[in-house]
Chain A
Amino acid sequence: MLNYIWGGLIVLSLIFALSSDINDFARDTYRNGTPLPVTVSFPNEYDSEARRQDVRVRLPADVYQAHFGLPQTVNLAWDGTLVQNEDGRELRFASGADLPEPLATLCARTGDEDCRGPTAGDPTLGSWTTAVAFRPVRWVKMDAIASAALDFAETAVTLALGLIGGLGLWMGLLKIAEASGMLHALVRVTQPLIRLLFPQVPRDHPALGMIVLNLSANMLGLGNAATPLGIKAMQELQTLNSNEDTATDPMVMLLAMNTASVQIVPPVLLVAIMGLQINQLFFSILITTSLSLIVAIVAAKTLGRLKRFRQS
């Protein structure tokens, strides 16, 4: 199943990226080869000798609309620089974060932080109407998926390495808990309840204790502790597994319960985002998470019996 989903994600990204780029091609979204008309004025009078001078670049809404064929209501204007030498003139202007598409992409592709492109014609004293020839833009989405793949591969390593400290700490503490008999006591107290969900795990097995700790950490919203505890529970369940690379029923159950997330306290990140508003959401989150937990448990139980997913 994961094979199909994984492959599907990759193939779908290619299809979507390709169709989006071909659509750009067909619609000529970026008006490749057609310079963008702008009006340039010189605050300090035009100086034909100066290599660089300050300018004010204006792009009226109707011109933008006519050029790109997209609705635009705001007149755009930027402070910029006119660079001139023997080879010609180049116009540079600051590309702020508020540029409308497709101009934003055009600018992003010109190299540095500013929008830049060669201009034709001779500047006149007052206001000079010219056009900026941007570098042609093609295959935007194809480039995007390729660089996203690399970025996320790096993110994966950063994430995993970031876990080392927390993992080490919790696994060390759990080892003490095991050696001191604490875990065993926890297993004995909770197993009548927890073994209803994990009947395949033998009585008094330490995996039950890890599962209880993992689920409690989840409920309290202690995400940083829940992951190491869940991993430890998986390791304990793996000791009961006769087929090393295949998940067992209890493993799938634990995973389903974790992905459905049994949270009484919402995740720290959400509390930070929502501020005081989060208080109103206590019941909606509690009801939703409880319902989805029940669905996850039922799904894990019933799907495991299907022939397709049965353990061979």
Chain B
Amino acid sequence: MGKIEETKIAMKSVSSLRIMFFLLGLLSFPLVAKGEEMSCKQCHADKIDYISFYKSIHRTLSCRSCHDGVSRLELHMQGNDRAKEVNCAKCHQNVFQKYRRDVHNVKLNMACQDCHQPIHALKRGRSLSSCNQCHPRENYVLRGHGRALEAGNMDAPSCADCHGLHNISVYDLASEKAQSLARETYTKRCISCHGNVKIAKRNKFSTQTVKSYYETYHGKVLRVGYTDKVAGCADCHTGHNTLPKTDSASAIHPDNLYHTCRSCHPIMHKRFVQFDPHPNPSDPKRSRIVYWVNVFMIALLTGTFAFFWTHSLLWWRRAYLEKYREGKKLIQVTLPGEKQVERFTFRDRMMHVLLVISFFILVLTGFPIKYADAPWAKMLLNFWGGPHAAGTFHRIAAITLCLLFLYTCWLSFKFLFPKGEKSGWVKRLLGPDSLFPNLKDLKDIVGMFRWFFHRGEMPKFDRWTYWEKFDFMAVFWGMTVIGFSGFILWFPGLFSYLLPGWMINVAMVVHSEEAFLAAIFIFTVHFFNNHLVPTKFPLERNIFTGRYPLETMKIERPLEYERMLAEGRLEEIKKDAPGIGTQLFASLFGLGSLILGLILAFMIFWAAIF
């Protein structure tokens, strides 16, 4: 017999022995278990209802399955050898892993048996009813969702649907951060059902509720992750008392609304409650005023862009043809030592630089809120140090812009009434040095379109072209509208003393649409007219250097040149060419702004389209 065969026989005999012992153990197990229970029962019969235990979910377990650690019965019976603490995690490891971070464990030190009572008579499905033992039905369940659940609506959430089962989050009541985290979590839970089309259809509620919430300041700011100071669902609808507004006990019942809003907006007039927290600007039945304001803003945007984009496109085509096909030299370079003419004073240039900076800050901090779900929104806000810091920057930039606007108003006033001179202001208003449109501008627009189609020469311009005047005058409209609406959104409670609450809804529409108009107009039309047109590409620097060559003036603004010559003022405006530092700043700042603006335009279009 070979060694291998010997080993095989030995292995077979070992296997047979193993099987024999296993069968013996299996047969004797009930006897052992029974005997063990008998001995436990002798002393612990008064503690456990064995009839209930044998019907319970743990009926197949022996006492020692849970209460292990007793090594000697005699000692145990004397009270010296106590069983170890019950460790449910031995079998329920997955639940335990979740539960270790549950508020009932972390803060209340509750063990499994505290909810799963009585632990020795445990049946499947009893745990949820345990919630009501500490969180009374009349306070938590018999209202809103709970009432619907009890009525048999299986779509209505139970405790666990909103709070989780063994993973109920820990929120420190004393911490503001924890409150905002709770707001974010629970609002998401609400939205998971109220934004679900199938559930909405089955229960006959509108999914517009979520969509419209996301369109409000509350919703947008919450979406980008700034949950500290905006209202989530439960802030208005309350956590458990979620009743329809027709119910007098509801927090959103008209009689209770003032009280509800005031909990976050302590300074507010009663008319503040006219604000619609779920507006739908495209639904005239819900709010006619907001609807028409929205229609007007869309018309304004469409009209403005339709005209100026067509204008830009035609201009680009014509200028391109002239520059590259006809070989016409439009830009004259300054020869060494040649004098230039001053177009913008130092003050004008500094105002423009400030304007550029504050405008970019406003766009970079405001648009992440407007397009809260855009992939770049959160990234941009993080760049500013979070939404709170971004909000602060937005407001600082807004105030800077307002001050610039007020200063421009003051300069305009001084232009019309120099040294208190009251007469002749109409002449100055409509004169060639004024930025106010006049009849010649209308003729110039017609002339430009004729030129676009090769039906005439390019009109001759004076100091200000019609598109420059439009840029200037648009600021008066834009600043009034966007500034005023911005202040309403900044201080909604205070403005409710002056205006009805629905004006906040109007302000939201106007501020948002006007911001889009301003940003896209600047980054497309203004950039094209002044920098990207083939005759000026890639950058017209005179807004930053303040000066440009005389020859360029003769081509671009011949009427101004002739006027200056006739009035003998040409020598007055002749200056030395800008220094290298100024030119470098103009190029870097100008090109930087141009590139940033174009990137932002791309990002805004991306967010608006997709």
A binds B: no
